[in-house]
Structure 1
Amino acid sequence: MLRHRFQPGRLVAGVFLILAGVVYAGDAGGLWETPWFAVIPLVVGGLCLAGAVGVVAQAVRRRRGESGAAAPDEPRPDLPR
């Protein structure tokens, strides 16, 4: 059983940020030469794509009628403490 909802936008953002880290690591290791500004479009493009994926995923959830139920370890706001 999943402990939380799958969030594909975070997956896309993570992949692009890892890719940016690999590009800088390759430059630091001397495998290739990367200009300082080369990673900016990679990160900005990845974050924009992640935002778009997140919006589409939320629209799909709403269309299917899935509720935003709290995870089992989170307190529910409608129950008294």
Structure 2
Amino acid sequence: MRRHEFQPGRLIAGLVLLLAGVLYLLDSTGEADVPWFAVVPLTMGGLSLAALVGLVTYAVRRDRREAISESSDR
């Protein structure tokens, strides 16, 4: 199996959506009373954080690739 890059933004997005699903599951079974207006901002904030982490990861990897290509050109 071919190895792939670690993508922390996708990890954060997955964990946030998993948390939202668990909260809705707990709400539907009656274990917790979670209002919808608590889950929506949590989800949107988590997805925004995931996007920010993804952009930072992309920028760091792009800079590293450019530095490696510049050092190999010399």
User: Would you say same fold, with TM above 0.5?
Assistant: yes
**TM interval, short-chain normalised:** 0.7 to 0.9
What RMSD over aligned residues (CA atoms) do the two structures have, in Å? Answer: 1.6
Q: Among all aligned residue pairs of Structure 1 and Structure 2, give the percentage whose two residues are the same amino acid.
A: 61
Tell me how far apart the structure 2 counterparts of residues 13 and 46 of structure 1 sit (CA, whole Å): 7
Give the deviation of 1:2 after TM superposition: 5.0
Q: Secondary structure at the match of 2:36?
A: coil
Tell me how far apart the structure 2 counterparts of residues 35 and 4 of structure 1 sit (CA, whole Å): 38
Q: Is the helix fraction higher in 1 or 2?
A: 2
TM-score normalised by length of structure 2: 0.80
Tell me how far apart the structure 2 counterparts of residues 36 and 55 of structure 1 sit (CA, whole Å): 29
- Structure 2: which 5+ runs fail to align? 67-74
- Structure 1: which 5+ runs fail to align? 67-81
- The AA in structure 2 aligned to 1:57 is T
Which stretches of structure 1, 4 residues or more, deviate above 6 A after TM superposition? none
